Copies of this chain bind each other. A is one copy, B any other.
Amino acid sequence: MADPRFFSRSGPFDLATVLERTGAKAPEGADTGRKFVDVAPLEAAKSDEIGFLDNKKYIGAFENSGAGACFVTGKLAERAPSGMIALITGQPYLAFARAARLYYPPSPPEPGVASGALIDETATVGEGSRIDPGAIVGAGVEVGARCHVSSGAVLCDRVKIGDDCHVGPGATLMCCLLGDRVWIDAGARIGTQGFGFAIGPTGAVRIPHTGRVVIGSDVEIGANSTVDRGTTGDTEIGDGAMIDNQVQVAHNAKVGRGVVLAGQVGLAGSARVGDFAMIGGKSGVSNHVKVGTGAKIGALSGVASDVEADGTYLGQPAVAIGDFWRQQAVIRRLAKRSKGE
């Protein structure tokens, strides 16, 4: 269970509540009044806790789990050990997420402005918002309702953020507009000037970057990530985009709706990532290159030219995943042969 030092848990909840909240189905005759106190991983779950099985690879843990109930597909449900109620759903991980949110519901911050917060008198802070000690809110800033601005966060002049936003400790916002329910994690830098200059006879001539960063709603940006503002025009992050830690989004990049960028990804200037595309950890996309809608890019890849919608790509430079593995197979075969020589 979660350490009560840091987290408080709701519940217990009876099975009927869990089923209603998650959309899963229990087998006929299951005791829907049975109480469950928490969600837990299969290896650790006890008889009053709920696990999930989302990957056949973990079927062993499932068969040996002490969990009292488990989200699982209909196909695998029959392999549940005795004592475990199989909670049948087409998407066990989604059901687990919903159950976890039942036990650990996101809660609005305790409203108030801490002493030790530095708020410019021309800033406006919406109802129910909390500003922590040591947070800094500049002139003309607009903070929506029920926002949480953490200690050490800096909202520079005239930044505007919607309702129910979270700005983590030490994060910085400038020249940007945020939608609702945006989570900016600790140390993220939004709206900094991009990397733009021309080379003149006596060195680099800095180009003023007078664009903005415009972020939709339901977006997450991870710890120590950076999103530069546009040169002219905007850097854009679409609704529902999920961005991990230490990701770099350069000036004028366009990140579509529901895009997933894993840790340490880098998008160069004016890169475009289509809606619902997913990019694996540490991969990069070059200047002006377009990743098609729904495309998947494996980890540690370099996308140096446009890739098509819905394809899967891997490698440096990235190629269609089948080609990547064929290349690997050829290289390995030749190397093996050379070893034999």
Which residues of A are interface residues toward B (Cβ below 8 A)?
1-3, 5-7, 39-41, 44, 91, 93-94, 96-98, 100-101, 103-104, 106, 116, 118, 132-134, 136, 138, 150-152, 154, 156-158, 160, 168-172, 174-175, 185-187, 189, 192-193, 195, 197-200, 203-208, 210-212, 218, 220, 222-224, 226, 228, 232-233, 239-240, 242, 244-246, 248, 250, 258, 260, 262-264, 266, 268, 281-282, 284, 286, 299-300, 302, 304, 315-317, 319, 323, 326-332, 334-336, 338-339
Are A170 and B198 touching (Cβ within 8 A)? no
Whole-angstrom distance from the CB of A183 to the nearest CB of chain B?
A: 8
The one of B39, B136, B336, B339 in contact with A133, judged by C-beta atoms closer than 8 angstroms, is B136
Taking a contact as CB atoms under 8 Å apart, the answer to whether A6 and B206 are in contact is no
A246–B210 Cα distance when bound, in Å, is 21
Distance, CA A189 to CA B221, complexed state (A): 14
Question: What are 23 of the A-B contact pairs (CB < 8 Å)?
Answer: A2-B210, A6-B212, A44-B232, A94-B198, A136-B151, A150-B154, A168-B192, A185-B193, A186-B189, A189-B223, A189-B224, A192-B223, A195-B222, A203-B218, A204-B258, A224-B224, A224-B226, A226-B246, A268-B281, A300-B316, A323-B332, A326-B335, A331-B331
A7-B210, A97-B207, A264-B264 known; A281 vs B281 contact (CB < 8 Å)? no
Q: Cβ of A245 and Cβ of B195 under 8 Å apart?
A: yes
B158 touches A5 (CB 8 A): yes
8 Å CB contact of A198 from B97, B268, B315: B97
> Known: A40-B232, A203-B240, A208-B100. Is A263-B268 also a contact (CB below 8 A)?
yes
Interchain CB contact under 8 A, A192 and B203 = no
Question: How many copies of this chain?
Answer: 3
- Say how far A72's CB is from chain B's closest CB, in angstroms: 15
Contacts of A175 in B (CB 8 A): 6-7
> Given A250-B263, A281-B284, A299-B302, 17 other A-B contacts at CB below 8 A?
A3-B210, A101-B208, A150-B154, A170-B187, A187-B224, A195-B242, A204-B218, A204-B220, A224-B246, A226-B245, A246-B246, A263-B266, A282-B302, A300-B302, A317-B328, A330-B334, A330-B338
What 5 A-B pairs come out closest when comparing CB atoms?
Answer: A2-B210, A104-B208, A97-B198, A94-B198, A203-B240
A104 in complex: contacting residue of B174, B210, B317, CB < 8 Å: B210
CB <8 Å contact, A284 and B282: yes
Q: Which B-chain residue is minimally distant from A207 (CB atoms)?
A: B97
Interfacial chain B residues near A326, Cβ < 8 Å: 335-336, 338-339
Known contacts: A195-B242, A284-B281. The answer to whether A329 contacts B323 by CB under 8 A is no
